[in-house]
């Protein structure tokens, strides 16, 4: 998330539309991505970063690139219409269309 100044970079953080930053973690064990005609299950614990692509998808059906701890990268649409983000005791439900990027604190 290069858009976030280094001095305010959260541990685990989400960049949302409108340049909003939310600190937190992905809730749940896995997310599902539509990759062509198949659905790929991705363990949340293996995700290093998620980045919305600018050259693919639409506003209502964005395409994301997901980088995994093992160095693999996947691209496709997230299946769920919302992401659940845990921040302290709070659970936020954010529409996938609002997600720009996610970065795990383990990625830097």
Where do the domains of the chain lie?
13-107
Report the alpha-carbon distance of residue 86 to residue 64 in Å, rounded: 20
Identify whether the C-beta of residue 90 lies closer than 8 Å to the C-beta of residue 22.
no
What pLDDT, on the 0 to 100 scale, is given for residue 3?
Answer: 54
Query: From the centroid of its chain, how far is CA 57?
Result: 15
Q: Could you read off the pLDDT tens digit of each residue along the chain, which spans 108 residues?
A: 445 555 554 568 999 999 999 989 999 999 999 988 899 999 999 999 999 998 776 666 789 999 999 999 999 999 999 999 998 899 999 999 999 999 987 644
Residues 95, 55: Cα–Cα separation, whole Å:
20
Q: Give the pLDDT confidence score for residue 54 in this predicted structure.
A: 81
- Pairing status of strand 99-103 against strand 13-16: antiparallel
Query: What backbone torsions phi and psi does residue 61 show, to the nearest 5 degrees?
Result: -135, 70
- Write down the pLDDT at residue 88: 87
What radius of gyration, in Å, describes the C-alpha atoms of the chain? 13
Cα distance between residue 39 and residue 53, in whole Å: 19
Question: Is the pTM above the cut of 0.85?
Answer: no
For CA atoms 41, 86, 105, 78, the dihedral sign is: positive
């Amino acid at each position: 998330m290069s858009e976030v100044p280094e001095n305010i970079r959260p541990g685990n953080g989400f960049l949302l539309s409108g340049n909003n930053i939310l600190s937190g973690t992905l809730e749940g064990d896995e997310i599902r991505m539509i990759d062509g005609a198949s659905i790929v299950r991705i363990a949340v614990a293996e995700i290093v970063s998620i980045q919305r692509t600018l050259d693919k998808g639409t506003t209502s059906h964005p395409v994301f690139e997901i980088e995994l701890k093992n160095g693999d990268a996947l691209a496709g649409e997230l299946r769920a219409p919302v992401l659940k983000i845990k921040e302290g005791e709070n659970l936020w439900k954010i529409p996938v269309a609002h997600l720009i990027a996610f970065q795990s604190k383990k990625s830097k």
